Amino acid sequence: MKILVPVKRVIDYNVKPRVKLDGTGVDLANVKMSMNPFDEIAVEEAIRLKEKGVATEIVAVSIGVAKAQETLRTALAMGADRAILVQTDDEVEPLAVAKILKAIVDEEQPDLVILGKQAIDDDSNQTGQMLAALTGRPQGTFANKLEVEGDAATVTREVDGGLETVKLALPAIITTDLRLNEPRYASLPNIMKAKSKPLANKTPADYGVDTAARLQTLKVSEPPKRSAGVKVADVDELVAKLKSMGVAA
């Protein structure tokens, strides 16, 4: 079984993003970047399937700038076998990402595509669903448990009312939620080995995909700051404050 794992280079989740002074976007200058946390979970799940003997090959793929090679090397150090970088300096929107991934799926013919449910930079939560639609494959989104047996995958997914279990015929598309697993740290020997693992460089044009923007960002701004709270001396004053704010006592 071959597993394809798309990964994205994003601002490290420990870093507080800064908005550009002109409000046109997020300032990425001299900011620590890392693999999208949901994608790390996807890589870990693929590795666990390989360790169980379910999978035989893991292919990591990233779409972005040349420095996304670092993200792919991280995936290789964790345990992926080879990687593909689709290099572009454009800001690629979810639909274009899904189209490129669809072309790679057609070329690689993986039995499973496991990717994060969303990226923490744009929070679009669209690529996995779009890829499933383009490829005509069944999808299991927001997975917090995945079991593969024979030609089917059973996914326990998080929904508003609790948990839902679905069974998918392979090949299929899976998107990962936070509670699926805890990603491992890459060991130093594996980091060194990752340098010699195959990493192919491609472009969107190689897959016949136009990455021209179809969405326009009008303005980016920071969330409003919370106003300071007010201390009250007793319950009566609290009730009076609530009434003055139009809140029923």
Per-residue pLDDT of 60-102, as tens digits, reads 999 999 999 999 999 999 999 999 999 999 889 999 999 999 9
Secondary structure class of 186 (helix, strand, coil): coil
Cis peptide before 198 (omega within 30 of 0): no
Considering just the CA atoms, what is the radius of gyration of the chain in Å? 22
Predicted local confidence at residue 32, as pLDDT: 92
Pairing of strands 2-6, 9-11: unpaired
Q: What angle do CA 87, 212, 111 make, to 5 degrees?
A: 55
- What's the number of CA atoms in the CB half-sphere (13 Å) around residue 109? 0
Per-residue pLDDT of 94-134, as tens digits, reads 999 999 999 999 999 999 999 999 999 888 999 999 999 99
- What's the pTM? 0.86
**Residue 249 confidence class, pLDDT cut points 50, 70, 90:** very low
Beta strands in the chain (DSSP E): 2-6, 9-11, 18-19, 26-27, 33-35, 57-64, 82-87, 112-116, 139-149, 152-159, 162-169, 172-176, 199-202
Domains of the chain: 2-244 (3.40.50.620)
